[in-house]
Each structure stands twice: as C-alpha cells, then as structure tokens.
Structure 1
Amino acid sequence: MSPPPSFKLPAYYTAFFLIIEPVSALVGAFYAHFRPLEYLQLTHATSSAYADALSIPTSTSIVLSQLANLYLLFAINEALVLRSTSDLRVWRTVLFGLLVADFGHLYTVRQLGVEIYWNALQWNKMDWGNVGFVYMGATMRMLFLAGVGLNTARGREAAKKVAAKKST
C-alpha cells in the first residue's frame, strides 16, 4: 500500500519504527524468555541472587515469559501492523500507545534510584535498553506525533517553529 501524498514516511522513521525497534524488542523477548537469569542479573544484580537458571522461582519465570510475549507483541505491532498501512491516523494511534508504554517502562525502573534516569556513565547494557533506548524511542514518537519531518500541515507547522527558533 503506498502512502497518500500527505504522508511520506522519512527514512529515519522507517529505519527506526519498522526495523531497529522491532529487532530490539525481539532481542528483549529472547533474553526474557530464553536467558532469564542473565536478564534478571542485568536488570538488578544485587536482588537477583539466584545460583543458576534452575533456581529461578516459577512465578518469576512465568512473568518473564509473559514479558517476552509482550515484547513480541510490541515487535509485531511495529514491524507488521505499521508496515501494513499508510493511514496516518493508524500510525499516530499506534505510536501514541507506544509512547504511553515508554513512560510506563521508564516508571518501572524508578526503584533503581533517580540516577538511573540520567547517569549514563553507570549504565550497563540492560540500562541502555531500559532507559537510553526508551528515551530514543519516546523522542522519535514525540517527533512523529508532532509531525516533524512529515509532509503534513502539522509537520510543516512544526518545521516552521524549528526554523524560527534557529533564526533567533
């Protein structure tokens, strides 16, 4: 389905929403389901004092598999649902829902302390995924929802505002 003339998806949105982010979600699903001990240790080593993967409580294993399932849904929504439509309204709806999820995801790491949100020098690879990558995804979604880079009335207005700020 080709996009209508008012909706031309720039390459950076295509790359991020249809390739990079779905692949990232699949990696998260893989680790949550197939490497739960590593997933837990990278999330918070101190509280994941399990001797080996066999000692992970059944409830924790179930919750991690459910999380993996949600990551899979996330990947499907972006890679397949968004790829199947050129309807800007559908794109905005899906990306708004994912933006709400971004803020929820960031909220879940609050117990690691406020420095988790800004102290990137202390982040491990899980923190980069849970915070840094989520910041990037949320930023991309906010830019898209604001119309930045889109050949729409909203996008042209956003571009004018950016240009006006640069000239002052």
Structure 2
Amino acid sequence: MPSKAVQYTTKGRVVPWAYRIFFLAIEPISALVGAYFAHFQQDKYLSLTHAASKPGVIPQGTGIVLSQLANLYLLFALNEAFVLRATNDIRVWKTVLFVLLIADLGHLYTVRSLGPEVYYDFTKWNAIDWGNVPFVYLGASMRTAFILNVGLGAQRVTANKQQ
C-alpha cells in the first residue's frame, strides 16, 4: 500500500502584488539609476558618496572601478527583474532574494567608514545616502519578510509516494 507524503508545492502560486511591484519594478529601476550614475555621472556619484575625498580629476582606475560597479548594478537589476519574472516557483524566488539579502548586508557594510551616524542620521543624508541606507533597509526588510513567508500562504498538496 503506497504511503502518502505531504508536500508543500510552490509552483503556480501567485506571488503577492506588493512583492511583485517592489522586486520586479521599483528595485530594478532603482538599480538601473545607480548603474547610470556610477557609469555616466562618475563625478557626481563620487561627490554624493563622499565629497571630501573626491579627486578633482577622476583617475582612470577609479573610473574603471565605477564602471564595474555600474555593471554589477545592472546585473542586480537584470537578475531580479528577469529571473524572478520568469517563475512563480517560491523556491527560486527565495534563493535569489537570499543572495540579494547577503548583498544588502555587504552594501550597508561598505559605508561604515562614514561613521555610525550614516546608518541612522537621516538629517545628513543626501540623494545617494537615501539609496545606500534606508532604501537598502527597505529591500533587506522585504527580502527577509518574503524568505520568512510573510504574506505567503502555504499551498498543501497530498501526493502519493512512489515506491
């Protein structure tokens, strides 16, 4: 007699609209804006990041690194927008979002040399700080909520176990 195993399927489940809007539109567009500024507006990008240390003329190596950063922002945007758009499999979504959550933590770590107040003193934030800190907090919070199944209903299916 075949035994029954309970599985939680994720295929075909509809991802809630709040997650779809944020992960498929808002965040990828935001990453594209970052890519644009890191590649095409390097002087402004460096000024907003830390005006006191911005060189008068951007060294070639710094320009290359900023363009590489722009490429990573582009990768981030394309991965999120296209990989997640291609599937409703929650396992894939959680895997992609977990990797991006690790990237969020790394992104927050990169601004540590600006001092602890960069993480909370919104009165001193400029446009790039708003993208580097609270927007990253928002993205990390959304990813954490998704990974913890906040707003996701479990779909139970009883399946016969093959012998």
**Shorter-chain TM-score tier:** 0.7 to 0.9
* Structure with larger Rg: 2
Deviation at residue 122 of structure 1 after TM alignment: 1.0
Displacement of 1:8 in angstroms is 2.3
Q: Select which of 37, 41, 49 maps to 1:43.
A: 49
Q: Are 1:19 and 2:22 counterparts?
A: no
Query: How many correspondences in the alignment?
Result: 146
Identity of aligned residues (%): 61
Q: Give, in angstroms, the shift of residue 4 of structure 1.
A: 3.4
Misfit runs of 4+, over 4 Å:
none
Corresponding residue for 1:162?
none
Higher relative contact order (CA 8 A, sep 6+): 2
1:122 is aligned, of 121, 124, 131, to 124
The CA distance in 2 between the partners of 1:35 and 1:10, in whole Å, is 36
Query: Which of 4, 15, 26 lines up with 2:11 in the alignment?
Result: 4
The alignment's C-alpha RMSD in Å is 1.2
Q: What's the CA shift for 1:85? A: 1.0
**Residue 138 of structure 1: how far off its partner (Å):** 0.2
Which residue pairs with 2:35 in the alignment? 29
The answer to whether structure 1 residue 131 and structure 2 residue 133 are counterparts is: yes
TM-score (norm 1): 0.84
Tell me the TM-score normalized by structure 2. Answer: 0.87
Gaps of 5+ in 2: 1-9, 156-163
CA distance in 2 between counterparts of 1:103 and 1:140 reads 13
Q: Which structure's residues are more often strand, by fraction?
A: 2
Q: Residue 49 of structure 1: CA displacement?
A: 3.5
